[in-house]
Structure 1
């Protein structure tokens, strides 16, 4: 989604920012590094890290950005839980493009990769 959105707007991004690469997070996304740290803190469930990153984002970007970032994170969490609970399969049409992104980001390293459709398990689960 990030790459598609960036391509549509003509902004250069490096999706390795998703994996914690600070240089990549800083490329083309306003407040990118702070947003990345906030997102990492949310998924880590570390209360102190979340407080620190949220306050940092608030200081440099303002309350509107914090609220929008929290809403995006909550929405992604909701979508993942729904997909995991009902076993939404990966579309055949998007599998080639999806496989490239999954490989580039090494998404198989995440525990949630276990929930990927059995059809794609061999190519995704290490």
Structure 2
């Protein structure tokens, strides 16, 4: 009787294993390396602190699935304005930084801005925290 239970359990396990092997999706091993994560662009700087007009600030970014050979577009966007007030490019979409000048031609005391970094090739973009600018006493 015990041998019958063992054989029955073994038969059930064989049937379940066969079903899993037949139904499991398969990938070509050579194609697996092409599967990448969804690109996410992170823009940690500049942070939320106020920035002085006529100062040099830094924007930094990193992207989990972007290539170091790709370039990024950097846009300074004023709150309430649809088009960027300043645009430039940066190297190394995977990870990088670039300085920018807070120009009084587009920045006034109390204005709020964000920095958007975009890698068009990988369809990845990210935006910094909003920061304000202030005029210093000259």
Shorter chain as normaliser: what TM range? under 0.3
Structure with the greater alpha carbon radius of gyration: 2
With normalisation by structure 1, the TM-score equals 0.19
Instruction: Flag the structure with higher helix content.
Output: 1
Instruction: Flag the structure with higher strand content.
Output: 2
Higher relative contact order (CA 8 A, sep 6+): 2
With normalisation by structure 2, the TM-score equals 0.18
